[in-house]
Amino acid sequence: MSRFKAVIFDLDGVITDTAHYHYLAWKRLAESAGVHFDQEFNEQLKGVDRVGSLELILAGAARAFSAQEKLEMADAKNRHYQELISTMSAADLLPGAVDALAAVRAAGLRIGLASVSKNAFTVLEHLGIRDRFDYVVDAATVKQGKPHPEIFLTAAERLGVAPADCLGVEDAVAGVASIKAAGMYALGVGSPAVLTQADRVIPGLDQFRLEDY
Is 165 labelled as part of a ligand binding site? Answer: no
Catalytic residue among 12, 17, 134, 138: 12
Known catalytic membership, residue 12: yes
Is 118 labelled as part of a ligand binding site? Answer: yes
Catalytic residue among 10, 75, 92, 212: 10
Is 119 labelled as part of a ligand binding site? Answer: yes
Q: Answer yes or no: are the C-beta atoms of 15 and 129 closer than 8 Å.
A: yes
- 162/108 Cα distance (integer angstroms): 16
- 133/141 Cα distance (integer angstroms): 16
Is 47 labelled as part of a ligand binding site? Answer: yes
Is 110 labelled as part of a ligand binding site? Answer: no
Q: Answer yes or no: are the C-beta atoms of 35 and 57 closer than 8 Å.
A: yes
User: Which amino acid does the sequence have at 3?
Assistant: R
Q: Give the torsion through C-alpha atoms of 159, 11, 22, 121, to 10 deg.
A: -50
Is 187 labelled as part of a ligand binding site? Answer: no
Is 200 labelled as part of a ligand binding site? Answer: no
The angle formed by the CA atoms of residues 176, 171 and 74, to the nearest 5 degrees, is 95
Q: Answer yes or no: are the C-beta atoms of 9 and 202 closer than 8 Å.
A: no
Is 199 labelled as part of a ligand binding site? Answer: no
Is 212 labelled as part of a ligand binding site? Answer: no
What is the number of other CB atoms lying within 10 angstroms of the CB of residue 59?
A: 8
Q: Answer yes or no: are the C-beta atoms of 185 and 213 closer than 8 Å.
A: yes
Is 210 labelled as part of a ligand binding site? Answer: no
Query: Which positions make up the binding site?
Result: 10-12, 26, 45-50, 53, 77, 115-119, 146, 170-171
Active site residues: 10, 12
Annotated binding site for substrate: 10-12, 26, 45-50, 53, 77, 115-119, 146
